[in-house]
A and B are shown apart, each in its own frame.
Chain A
């Protein structure tokens, strides 16, 4: 067995490659959170709507997205979907960083489906009396949802949402298949160039693990501080 040596990876180009990869992975996670959360709230409200067509559409979306592996979503949003766009827009998109944009789209739609289910559970966990009381005080159903129920629901949902964020962070690694130069992609590049696969992936594991632990810590903190379960006791 060849001896382990981290030295070649820790200075010069290879380390810079890994850092650029880490930066893009973090950026993808952040961007996706920004877009997936509002979409997830919208989807959850659709599934809770009193109107049947809205419920059906929301449910169909969640089931369709959750039943297909993320890898397939990635390939579809890179090789499939953009081809259907009008020629002018397509060219402009392809001239830019289409790899990152496709990965962002796939991650957003995928993550939103999971997050919407958590948010829906959160809304259902708010006692129905809250809604009734708000309406008795003269709130419209929509205002009651927006001002009374949703804020409580999001607090309940925070720990599971952070757990979904953890999944999202790890899922960014799938973007390597469509050439988005995130951490996994750069790691494979370093491995091919140095033949130090074990060391490279050890470093990458540490990077994934550190960010994941921060998210897990946040989730625990949220559980203790923000979740209404504690306040109620």
Chain B
């Protein structure tokens, strides 16, 4: 092939590729979801009761999975759950490997720059778990000490903000970080309050060996993550969440996964699904 012709072919290919990219960028995600008949939702699968593996059926279930199911039902498409690592959540959403994130995702100002959020679906605080016989009674006592937590979430920046001089070691999953605390490789484990309560409850008889500090290191509004600028998809998601709130189903879901009959034993819901604003 002559060099000029080769160059022409190359430019044509490049043009084709960029047109394809342009087309993909312009197509609305909601249309795409309807066309493929499938809503892919990224979850953690390691964070009970938001999303976790059911010991009997080996399937991923949970509060956030039920929310995702309601959204898929409203869109009239099949729900496909995809398990993600904490640190991979936002990149996977940005690159379009998942349509939505229902992955214990904190809604904060920093993240608003890169993705959009649905109405707040849950409010939790982040707290600190220590061994019962530990001399640590408050956050200030953690200064200069080694604490363990999860990679890629808001836990690490929050504890560093709350205790400037703290030494933080991070792991891929909550259970790994908790194991490091159990083995004494750190003096405290930082996580969302709900996850801490859940992991604490799972200890059974060994529960007495641990306690949770009273102070919150932060308040974390959790929401469903949506790719930036997908307004129509966000409208649909928010619509489903508003309906759940209106019909009382949101409350039922809360009681099902967090209520008095669950290991977490939350007496009642202290938030409503009605806002997508967070404090900076």
User: Chain A: residues with CB nearer than 8 A to chain B?
Assistant: 1-2, 79, 82-83, 90-91, 94, 98-99, 177-179, 181, 185, 188-189, 191-193, 195, 197
Contact = CB atoms under 8 A, between A and B. Distances in A.
B126 to A, nearest CB: 15
B156 A179 contact: no
Nearest to B153: A192
B255 to A, nearest CB: 33
Interface in B91-136: 91, 94, 110-111, 113-114
B185 A94 contact: yes
A185 B176 CA distance: 16
A90 B184 CA distance: 9
Interface residues of B, number: 25
B171 interface: yes
Given A82-B183, A177-B171, A179-B148, 14 more contacts: A1-B25, A2-B94, A79-B183, A90-B184, A99-B169, A179-B169, A179-B170, A179-B180, A188-B152, A191-B152, A192-B87, A192-B151, A192-B152, A195-B90
Interface string B132-160: 00000000000000001001110011000
A193 B156 CA distance: 10
Q: Which 7 A-B pairs have the closest CB atoms?
A: A179-B169, A195-B114, A192-B152, A197-B91, A94-B184, A94-B185, A188-B87
A2 B114 contact: yes
> Which of A79, A179, A181, A189 gathers the greatest number of chain B CB atoms within 10 Å?
A179
A189 B179 contact: no
A27 to B, nearest CB: 17
A90 to B, nearest CB: 8
A2 B115 CA distance: 11
